[in-house]
Structures are given as C-alpha cells and as structure tokens.
Amino acid sequence: MALNNPDILYPLLDQLSQKVRYLNHRISYAIDDARRLVDVAVDQTNQATFETNYVANIKDEDAEKIDYWDNETTSMRNKLNRLLQGIEATHNRLNGIRRACNQSAQHWNKEHDIAVAWLRRAKNRLATAINNLNIAISSLQAAEARLNRAQSALSSCQNSYRTDSNGRRIYNDCSGHQREVANARHQVSIAQDEVRRWELEKREAEVEVAAAEARVRRCEEALSLIRQATDMNAVSINIILDADNFCRRGLEEVRSAGEIISRTKELNAQQDALVQENKAHLATAQNFSSDASTSFARASSLSADVQSYGSRAGEEIDRKVDLLKEFGFTPGNL
C-alpha cells in the first residue's frame, strides 16, 4: 500500500504522535534527572568546599597554637637553662660556705680546747689561791693569838712588882715579854702580808677564771653559730639540689613537649598537604561542576528546543489526524 493511503497513514500518524509524546516525556525525565544530578554535584561540591575550608581554618588555628607553644617551650627551655646556671653558681657558693664553716669549726674547736685548758688552769689557780688564803688566814689568826698572849703576858709582867724591905716597889724585868710581843707583832705583820698576797692572788684568779669562762662561752657561741650556719647551709644545699632536680625534670618535660610539638608540626604539615591536595581536587571538582552546569544549561536549552519541536510536531500530527477524522477516517471504519 502507498503511504498516502488513509488506511495506512492514520495508524502511522497515531503511533508517531504517541512516540513524539513519549519522547518528550523521556527528554523531560532525562532533563529532570540531569538537573538533580547537577544539583547533587553542586551541593556535594559546596559541602566539600565548606569542609575543606573548615579543615583549613582548623589547620591554620592549630598552626598558630603550635607556633605559640613552640615559642613558649623555647622560652621555658631558656629560662630553665638560665635557672640551672644560677643554681650551679649558688651550689658552688654554698659548697664554698660549707668548706669555710668546716675550717671555722676546726679553728674554733681548737680555740675551745685552748680555752677549756685555760679555764682548768685558772680554776686550779683559784683553788690554790683559796686554799693558801685559808692557810694564811689561819696563820694570821694564830699569830694574832700569840700576839694577844704575848701582850697579856707583857701586861701582867708590867703590872706585877714586889716590895723590898724598905717598902719600895721592885718591878719585874719584862724585856723578854717585850721581845715576845715585838716578835709576835712581826709574825702578825708577815701573816697579814701573806693574807693580802693570797687575797690579791684570789681576785686575780677569779678575774682569770671569769675571762677563761667568757672565752669558753665565746668559743661555744661561735661553734653554735657555725653549727647553725652549717645546718642552714646543708638545708640550702638540699633545696638547691631539689631545685636542680626540678629544673632538670622540667627540661626533660620541655624536651618531651618539644618532641610532641615537632611531631604535631609534621602532622600539621601533612594536614596542610592534604588540604592543598583537597583544594586542588576541589578546584577540579568545581571546574567539573561548572562545566556540568554549563553543559546542563546547553542540554536543557537544546532539550527545550527539542521538546518545542516535538510538541509542534505532535500538534501537527494531531492536526493531520483530526483532518482524517473530518473525512471520516477512523481506526474503526478503516
């Protein structure tokens, strides 16, 4: 049959009209799917951009924190090193003070021994003076007693007399008693001199004992001060040693912190490399997304044209079918 045969043309036009509509629907669905894909790509690109920028900001903040703590660690290390130098100098001075205390202790121990020996001699001198003074006092008392007896005998002799046949008084010869009195007075004078000598010796011995005791006390006070200084110096040395240990532990902690900061720097550098890589990928994705959007826009425009042409073609086919219907050609009576 020829294609201008209405019996053939009507079904063909009807099928063609349906295919045109179906094609327009397929194109519309494809454009919608492409639009959704482009929107998803744009959203994913925007999300990736946000996440990349967020990670980059965190990386920059971390870098600032790392630089801050790196500077703080360096400053702390320098401070601890200076403090260790000061501690070492102080330790040396304290060791010098300890040696000086030991030398002073040796000196004052010798001085104390000398003072104790001097005090012992002074006390012996005082004891001797007291003993001799007591002896001298006893001797003086004995001499005074002899003088009293001699004077009594002389007085008795001088007061005694006898009378002769003429009644005249004849006094006794008292020259012997007088010599006894003179001798007794001389012995008293000697005893008094001896008492005065031993009293002077006693006073001088007491002064010497007081001086020796004062010297012993000064030596003991000096030794006490030296012991206190030695104890304080020992405490100071212990404090310095504790400070030295503290500083060295601090340096070890700072060293560990420095290692952590170095590793953190490496990780931050790796993170920066990843960020740069992500930015490069993101730029590529943005280019692809932009190209896809551009391509979609062109495809959408072409699709609109195709749909427009399809719609007009469908309308033209429908018009032809309507003309056939006007002439009485329908699928039922063909």
| CATH (domain of 20) | 1.10.287.950
**What pLDDT, on the 0 to 100 scale, is given for residue 76?**
85
**What pLDDT, on the 0 to 100 scale, is given for residue 139?**
96
Asked if residue 331 belongs to a domain, the reply is no
Which structural domain range is residue 112 located in? 6-326
Asked if residue 334 belongs to a domain, the reply is no
Asked if residue 121 belongs to a domain, the reply is yes
The structural domain count of the chain equals 1
Asked if residue 295 belongs to a domain, the reply is yes
Asked if residue 332 belongs to a domain, the reply is no
281, 128, 106, 284: which is closest to 206 by C-alpha? 128
Q: What is the pLDDT of residues 219-243, one digit of tens each?
A: 999 999 999 999 999 999 999 999 8
Task: Encode the chain (334 residues) as per-residue pLDDT tens digits.
Answer: 444 555 555 565 566 666 666 666 666 666 677 677 667 766 767 776 777 777 778 867 877 888 888 888 889 889 889 988 999 999 999 999 999 999 999 999 999 999 999 999 999 999 999 999 999 999 999 999 999 999 999 999 988 888 777 878 777 889 999 999 999 999 999 999 999 999 999 999 999 999 999 999 999 999 999 999 999 999 999 999 998 998 899 889 888 888 888 888 788 777 777 767 777 766 776 666 666 567 656 656 656 665 666 566 666 666 666 665 665 555 544 4
Q: What is the pLDDT of residues 8-43, one digit of tens each?
A: 555 655 666 666 666 666 666 666 776 776 677 667
**What pLDDT, on the 0 to 100 scale, is given for residue 235?**
95
Asked if residue 1 belongs to a domain, the reply is no
